[in-house]
Amino acid sequence: MKYLNVAEKNDAAKNIALHLSRGTSKRREGLSQYNKIYEFEAEVMGQKCQMVMTSVSGHLLALEFASSYKSWQSCNPLTLFDAPVIKYCPENYEKIKKTLEKEVRSCQGLIIWTDCDREGENIGFEIIEVCSAVKSNLRIFRAKFSEITSVSVRRALQNLEQPNRNISNAVDVRQELDLRIGAAFTRFQTLRLQKVFPSKLADSLISYGSCQFPTLGFVVERYRAVNNFVAETFWKIKVNHTINNLSVDFAWDRIRLFDQEACQVLHDICIENPLAKVVNVRTKPKSKWRPLPLDTVELEKLASRKLKINAKETMRLAEKLYTQGFISYPRTETNEFPKEMNLRQLVEHHTGDPNWGRFAQGILDDGGATPRQGNKSDKAHPPIHPTKYTNSLSGNEQRLYEFIVRSFLACCSKDAQGQETTVSIDVANETFSASGLMIIARNYLEVYPYDKWSSKEIHVYENGQTFNPTSIDLVEGNTSPPNLLTEADLIALMEKHGIGTDATHAEHIETIKNCSYVALADAVHFVPSLLGMGLVEGYDAMGLNMARPHLRAQLEADLKAISEGTKQPDIVLAEQFFLVLKCPKCGSGMTLRQKKNNADELFISCLSYPSCKNAVWLPNVVKSLQVQDRTCPICGPNYNIVKFEWRNNSISHLYPPPYDGCIGGCDPAFLDILQINPSSVKPSNSNQNISNNNRPIVENRTNNIRPQAQRQTTIGNMPTRNNTGNRQTGQIAPTVNGSRVQNTAQTRLPAPRIVGDSEDNNVLCSCNKPAIQLTVRKQNANFGKKFYKCATMRENGGCDFFLWAPESENTVQNQFETPPDSGRGSAPPSAGTSNSSRGWGIAPTFSRTDYTPNEDNVMCNCGVPARRVTVQKEGPNKGRPFYGCPKNFSSRCNFFQWADSGTNVEWNNSSTGNSRGRGRGRGGGGGSRGGAVGAGDTVVMVGAGAELDGAESAASAGRRGTRGPDAQIINKIHKGPMDCRKQ
């Protein structure tokens, strides 16, 4: 049996071959001069095999767009979000690829020895792809190891596993997203800024990355905090007591005051009564904790702070030490050693060193290593630790190796121990405190010079003792701004917010430095450049929080879910690129944004802003939106389904959260509830400006459904439903609130009311206050038309009420025309278009011919044919038909009758007999066939129907003495045939 073994780098291949062959491997040249081939024999699964060991140099394959999209001028950057991408082998890696293809032809098996992290797993699958294309029947295995030592690699060979496709998939998704997002935004901002600043940026590439931009955002945010900081003056009192050249400062327990007069008064009182009395002396043990075992983030932070080696260089040096076998794998999230790990042996390696050998021996003599354990583990690699001793290094390699050794020995030691004494004194009823420290045992500090802890002497004080202070001073000071970010601070923020991984933090920081988005002000602290500041502020001004960390943090969480097999790669890819809808004004995508001055308020804006200023403003009731991976079956592929979370429960009875809905117009009532102007989500309609009297009304009298005007859908020729439930295509008109059809959307929100004579135009808005009358001044079809709005309006605590004023019958009315700007960007749609011949608030007259007769010729109390519907909700009455009034909520009578019993139920407040309240028919309780709507039943009559919410039982309703139907009746507009369902 012959196996091809492939490592991630040549040094790793060399050392793995060295350990597996016990130093007997033979080297020969491959096609790439940087990737040698090592041959030896080893035992695999109990069988002696020939082994060929070689390597790649990181990723073997790369991702790019199809050739027609490579040119920057070839397409709109937006098309890159769904342009085809291909994997290919870059030219400088062709020799490595050919080496693999050549060597695998004579092998029967393949063993992957790449690093055991996400990137390593993905590189492993790239190797598998290349080799399997040459030889499809290969036996493929994965070697798992955390350090390149003899014990570790031999153990890995005897415990071969299968490669993990989920982990590799996570990298594929990340690569594709980085390519698409990076390329699209890089092209967009480069071309835009080069055009605006040709003299400054003509030859500059303004790159974008979904990790590097939040990293830049942290720098900008701290820089703003420093620049915008306003110093405040404060005052404090300090007491000093000096004896025999030992000076002790007592700090004020009030700390400081920002009122000079108040502080001056307290100081004067202390001066007048200066005698100090010791009120408390406390002595307690004090410990300084030894460091935790090193993970990658801590290594980067501490190397930056203590050794002044930047994160990128730190990781380069650590990788080199790892491939040489001196330290364990340096990319780990673990800060606790596994119990089965032989730490004593690792400590023994260092007992002969002249600098820390004595300390290492002391650990062994004192009972062995007792490391302080953290609480993080990636279940893949142990903390970073030395794997063998060496004294042959130099420069920063030696410094970093020494730091890792000393950190390991320190964490295996004991905490430093001391004794702290705290003394509290009283001066004129003001309390001051001072403390002293006596170190008893330095312990880990003996080997870890990177921490400082020194003794601080204090006089010996006793409770009740009095003394005269040497001085009592009034000290003036100023508050100071936060410090600019150091590299260690930046890495800590990236880790906290989930930007990148422990393996990529250094890379992202280096990227924003190389792009000249940030610079080091004093070789330590980051400041944004003019370009970096401009990019962040530019996107902020557009309402796009590209520099905020939440977007990338969500992606990192999704990638982790892919690795764990709990989320599908295709879903993550789809979710990242979803736009809410296509802009009806210009055809670009529209995406979710936050208001600049209030991140809690959301709106949907066109990506072509400022060329296109179309926006969808969302009310405060919308807490969050999440675009789903499916489109609306009614509105079409340009409209994605959106998951809504509500900020309160005001509409939860209508749309229970989380609610999956569409704002394309297929549910006009939903638009009405959210106060969305239909013109911002629908293309203009050629039939919008025809007279009310000439609007087409599509009627269908089949299936016992009363005729109703079809409702306007999102796009003129989008499929909708006719009254029989079948899809149809055609131009349709908005609902008209005339004598034939009521606009049921109007009753979703408080309806306007008329006070006094309708001719006086005394209209009350939804706030129950007189509305103001305005006139359209915009040059369009509604020029000169009068309309009513809330006098206070939403911005000042009012409502979004809007209503056209009454006009003559021949006047053009357009329910969905946008009225003059109210300061919010777009006005809400009108509650409905009234019939101009009748005025507001006057109940329309009805004719029996407006309602379809039913099979049993049942008439409601209004004298019109009742509507037959069926209970659909699970419960005792599921499937039962009943009759109810077909009218709109505002004019509906209280008629109800079960269709299968012939019982006419009068909804009243009678409390006698079996109908103690509401809904009790002669059949008794809701569980019988003859009973009325039972407890917990909610009957929804959809179409121009009504919703009967029978959440209360008839008995409980009777006890409360509630009048009216057994349910709250709420109009619900629906896009299909009338149905009845219990909710």
Active site residues: 329
Distance CA 206, CA 213 (A): 12
| Beta-strand pair 2-7/47-55 | parallel
- 648 token code pair: 């309160």
- Read off the amino acid at residue 761: N
* Helix (H), strand (E) at residue 312: helix 311-323
Closest CA to 397 of 489, 450, 492, 319: 319
| Beta-strand pair 2-7/109-113 | parallel
Q: How would you list the strands of the sheet with 881-884, edge to edge? A: 867-870, 881-884, 895-898, 904-906
- 42 token code pair: 């080893």
Closest CA to 250 of 259, 240, 242: 240
Distance CA 601, CA 619 (A): 8
The DSSP line for 163-174 is --HHHHHHHHHH
Distance CA 327, CA 738 (A): 83
- 717 token code pair: 């020729």
Let me know: does 143 contact 3? Beta carbons within 8 Å.
Answer: no
Long-range CB contacts (within 8 A, 24+) of 432-439: 432/237, 432/239, 432/250, 432/251, 432/252, 432/253, 432/276, 433/250, 433/251, 433/253, 434/248, 434/249, 434/250, 434/251, 434/458, 436/248, 437/286
Using the Cα atoms of residue 684, residue 689, residue 690 and residue 692 in order, give the sign of their dihedral: positive
- 305 token code pair: 């702070």
CA 860: distance to chain centroid? 53
Using the Cα atoms of residue 375, residue 379, residue 385 and residue 387 in order, give the sign of their dihedral: positive
- The strand ranges marked E within 102-138 are 109-113
Closest CA to 561 of 173, 181, 163, 175: 173
Closest CA to 147 of 391, 3, 303, 349: 349
Closest CA to 327 of 340, 336, 317: 317
Helices 311-323/10-20 angle, 10° precision: 30
Q: How would you list the strands of the sheet with 802-804, edge to edge? A: 772-775, 786-789, 802-804
- Report the b/e string of 755-794 with b at 16+ CB within 10 A: eeeeeebebbbbbeeebeebebeeeeebeebebbbbebbb
- Within 8 A by CB and 6+ apart from 63, the residues are 85, 86, 87, 175, 176, 179
Closest CA to 241 of 477, 473, 430: 473
- In order of 42, 91, 156, 538, 697, the CA distances from 54 in angstroms are 15, 19, 17, 49, 77
Distance CA 100, CA 7 (A): 12
Helices 395-411/311-323 angle, 10° precision: 80
Instruction: Please classify residue 156 by burial: count the beta carbons closer than 10 Å to its beta carbon, then call 0-12 exposed, 13-18 middle and 19+ buried.
Output: buried
Let me know: does 317 contact 309? Beta carbons within 8 Å.
Answer: yes
